[in-house]
Amino acid sequence: FTLEEEVEEPVFEIHTPVAAIDLVPTTEFLKNIDVTFEVVSPNVAPTFEIITPQIREIEVKDPEFVVAAEEVSFSLDLFATKEEVKESTIVFDLSAETRAMEVKDPINVVPVTEVNQNGIIKYSLEDYLEKENELVASKPVEIVAEPVDEELNFTMKKEVEKLENNSQFDAVSPLEMSIEDTLKLRADERKRKMKEFNHKFNNSASQIDEFERIPAYKRMGFDVTSTPNTASNQSRMSLGTDSNDDIQLRSNNSFLHDNVD
C-alpha cells in the first residue's frame, strides 16, 4: 500500500446569535434580600386504568316492592264543599172549621166610562177605595191659635185697581203712572204686537200666491190693452237722413243752439 499524508478536514462552527443580556453585578445587599419562593411540580398527565370486573360474579337480589306512605293533608274551610241540606216539606191539614167557612163568589169591578168633549173618562171603584184609605189614614192637624192682644191684632188688605181700557194709559203721562201700571202697559203692548205679527205671518202665504198669479202691472192698475194718443205726445225733435241713408239730427232742433239759457 501507499502511504499518504492525512489531510485534516476543516471544521465549521455554527454560532447562533444570542441577544446580549445586561447583567447586574451581584452585591452584598442583593445577597441579603429575603426571597419568597414556591415549589411548583410539573404538570403530569393522569393515567386512566380501565378495570372490567366480571359481570357474572355480581350478586343479584330479588326485587322489593315499596308501598308509599300516606301523606297527611291539611285543608282550609274556605274551599270545603258544603253539603246540601234537604229541607223537609211541611204539609198543613185543613181543619173542620176551615172547611166549614162560607166562600163567596168573587166580584168583578167593571169601570164606568164617560165620553164628553174633553175625552173618555173612566170611573173605577179601586180609585175610590184608594182615596178613601188616604182620607182615613190622614189625621187632621189641630191648629192651636195663640191669643193675641186686640191692640196688636192688625189685618192687611190689598186693594187691586182694575183698569178698564188701555185708552186711560194713553191719556195719563208715564211719569204720573206707578211702576206696576207701567209694566202692565208694556206687557199689553207686547201682546198686541205679537197678535199683529201672527196675523201678518198667517196671511203671508195667501199674499205670495196672489203675487204668483197676478202680474205686477195689473196689481199696480196699468192697462196695456189701450193705446195712448200719439198726437198729444209727439216729440219736437226732428230727424233726417244723409246721403248714405243714415239717420241724423237736423239743425233746426230747438235744443241744438249756442245760446245759454
- Beta strand 112-116 pairing with 119-123: antiparallel
Among 233, 251, 230, 249, smallest CA distance to 241 is for 249
Strand partners, 208: none
H or E segment at 199?
helix 179-213
**pLDDT tens-digit map of 86-108:** 777 776 666 666 666 777 776 66
Residue type at 5 in one-letter notation:
E
Q: What does the domain layout of the chain look like in residue ranges?
A: 190-221
What mean pLDDT comes out for the span 14-37? 76
**pLDDT tens-digit map of 179-196:** 888 888 889 999 998 888
What mean pLDDT comes out for the span 217-236? 71
Mean pLDDT across the chain = 70
Q: 165 or 62, which is more confident?
A: 62
The confidence score (pLDDT) of residue 156 equals: 65
Q: Report whether pLDDT(63) > 70.
A: yes
Place of cell 200666491: 209
* pTM summary value: 0.17
CA 207 to chain centre: 47
- Percent of the chain whose pLDDT exceeds 90: 2
Under the banding of pLDDT at 50, 70 and 90, the label for residue 163 is very low
What mean pLDDT comes out for the span 17-45? 77
Q: How far apart are CA 123 and CA 18, in angstroms?
A: 139
Q: 257 or 214, which is more confident?
A: 214
CA 157 to chain centre: 56
Q: How far apart are CA 157 and CA 17, in angstroms?
A: 146
The confidence score (pLDDT) of residue 106 equals: 66
The confidence score (pLDDT) of residue 157 equals: 66
